Homo-oligomer: A and B are copies of this chain.
Amino acid sequence: MNDFTYFAPTKVVFGKGAEGQVGKLCKEQGATKVLVHFGGGSAKRSGLLDRVCAALEEEGLPYVTLGGVVPNPRLSLVYEGIELCRREGVDFLLAVGGGSVIDSCKAIGYGLANDFDVWELFDKKRAAAGCAPVGAVLTIAAAGSEMSDSTVITKDEGELKRGYNSNYCRCKFAVLNPELTYTLPEYQTACGVTDIMMHIMERYFVNVETMTVTDTMAEAVIRDVLRYGKAALEDPRDYRARAEIMWAGSLAHNGLLCAGGPNGDWASHQIEMELSGMFGVAHGAGLAAIWGSWARYVLDAKPQRFAQFAYRIFDLPQTGDPTVDGLRGIEAMEDYFRSIRMPVNLRELGVGELTEEQIDELAEKCTYFGRRTIGQFKVLGKEDIKAIYRMAQ
């Protein structure tokens, strides 16, 4: 068991109509001028943006808006946001959207609080000294950015997708209204469910003696997401299903489910990140397409862990051989992905067959051009990563 620090200070306001409280929540944080940051048109069309702005106006809080965040949010818009906030004297950043919008907000926050090019954080050249305060009105259960310490941004030139982690960027509050996710397309719901699962599994598949209470809570949340993920796809307006997934999404990535372990493995995430950087695929789908190949590749490092997963998540019987049982657990997980119409290889992901040159480029970027290995369950270098891309074809 490892020593750990747990710090998840985000105030979660959960329930129907919760976005109506957003003005009060911003004010509680001392906001005097707010950036309302959002993505495409859906927040506008649904009327959510109007409700959020009305809630700010009710508290007499001036605001400026900045839309246009895309999936795999862009550094160029972050720069634009920083400039806008400086010009307008914004002191609170409100994300209305999913993980991409929240991450874009966090990156703007870093830019405002640090006097150097914000990309240097993502490029691991500098450490942040702070972050302007961010709040979120969540519209998709997926990335967990509403409670996490994580921010992922894509640099437009070179399609470099990079993450930066620090407690500074943890949201001050997160408004979680499950009804806001009723209208999500099926594919996005399934991608979100996958992303949530993966946030837990990245923490679960680690190669140290873990804490029992953390393991069993993680297993409880995984089972919950499996169950209600299917239910939400069957009936998109199932409040319970949407609520369970939404709360699970926050729990999955706020640090609770790695207490007593290392911070997680994250190899699947890092291998996927290069795919969505290069091909613009949806992050959740990319994870589903990669995970099985990663799992088979690393299985022998600790087959017992995959066997435990098989028994406790899928109630599979014990054959006496943890490698056999672990493999069955991996297959059961892939079956689940298939059942929610997620891809389990790159072909199904729509990326097509990769050339050896592409595989080499992806792996090279994934190692930060030779500056790092990835993974904790099994430490992976460039050749390992290439092998996993090949297996995932």
Which A residues form the contact surface with B (CB < 8 A)? 1-9, 11-16, 18, 211-213, 216-217, 219-221, 223-224, 227-228, 239-240, 243-244, 247-248, 251, 256, 259-260
Chain B residues near A6 (CB-CB < 8 A):
11-12, 14
B1 and A240 contact, CB distance less than 8 A: yes
Number of copies: 2
Q: In the bound complex, what is the Cα–Cα distance between A243 and B213 (angstroms)?
A: 10
Chain B residues near A2 (CB-CB < 8 A):
15
A243 and B11 contact, CB distance less than 8 A: no
B248 and A213 contact, CB distance less than 8 A: yes
* Cross-chain contact of A260 among B13, B16, B18, B247 (Cβ < 8 A): B247
B15 and A211 contact, CB distance less than 8 A: no
Q: Closest residue to A17 on the B side, CB-wise?
A: B3
Q: In the bound complex, what is the Cα–Cα distance between A213 and B7 (angstroms)?
A: 21
* Cross-chain contact of A219 among B4, B12, B220 (Cβ < 8 A): B220
* Cross-chain contact of A244 among B213, B220, B243 (Cβ < 8 A): B213
List 25 interface pairs A-B (beta carbons < 8 Å), by A numbering.
A1-B239, A1-B243, A3-B16, A4-B12, A5-B13, A6-B12, A6-B14, A7-B12, A9-B9, A9-B11, A211-B243, A211-B244, A211-B247, A212-B224, A212-B228, A212-B244, A213-B224, A213-B248, A213-B251, A216-B221, A216-B223, A217-B220, A217-B221, A247-B259, A247-B260
Q: In the bound complex, what is the Cα–Cα distance between A66 and B334 (angstroms)?
A: 59
Q: Closest residue to A240 on the B side, CB-wise?
A: B1
Q: Closest residue to A215 on the B side, CB-wise?
A: B220
A12 and B1 contact, CB distance less than 8 A: no
- Nearest CB of B to A73, in Å: 26
B4 and A15 contact, CB distance less than 8 A: yes
Chain B residues near A7 (CB-CB < 8 A):
11-12
Chain B residues near A216 (CB-CB < 8 A):
220-221, 223-224
A5 and B12 contact, CB distance less than 8 A: yes
Q: In the bound complex, what is the Cα–Cα distance between A375 and B179 (angstroms)?
A: 31
* Cross-chain contact of A227 among B11, B211, B212, B217 (Cβ < 8 A): B212
Q: In the bound complex, what is the Cα–Cα distance between A127 and B237 (angstroms)?
A: 40
Q: From A7, A220, A224, name the one whose CB has the most chain B CB atoms within 10 angstroms.
A: A220
Q: In the bound complex, what is the Cα–Cα distance between A259 and B13 (angstroms)?
A: 11
Chain B residues near A11 (CB-CB < 8 A):
5-7, 9
Chain B residues near A220 (CB-CB < 8 A):
213, 216-217, 219-220
Chain B residues near A260 (CB-CB < 8 A):
14, 243, 247
Chain B residues near A228 (CB-CB < 8 A):
212
Q: From A7, A228, A256, name the one whose CB has the most chain B CB atoms within 10 angstroms.
A: A7
Chain B residues near A256 (CB-CB < 8 A):
256
- Nearest CB of B to A37, in Å: 23
Chain B residues near A251 (CB-CB < 8 A):
213
- Nearest CB of B to A156, in Å: 36
B247 and A213 contact, CB distance less than 8 A: yes
Chain B residues near A5 (CB-CB < 8 A):
11-14
Chain B residues near A239 (CB-CB < 8 A):
1
- Closest 6 A/B residue pairs (Cβ): A3-B15, A216-B220, A9-B9, A6-B12, A213-B224, A7-B11
Q: In the bound complex, what is the Cα–Cα distance between A71 and B220 (angstroms)?
A: 36
Chain B residues near A223 (CB-CB < 8 A):
216
Q: In the bound complex, what is the Cα–Cα distance between A223 and B256 (angstroms)?
A: 18
Q: In the bound complex, what is the Cα–Cα distance between A219 and B223 (angstroms)?
A: 14
In the complex, given contacts A2-B15, A217-B220, A247-B259, what are 11 additional A-B residue pairs having Cβ atoms less than 8 angstroms apart?
Answer: A1-B239, A3-B15, A3-B18, A4-B12, A5-B14, A6-B14, A7-B11, A9-B9, A213-B248, A216-B224, A256-B256
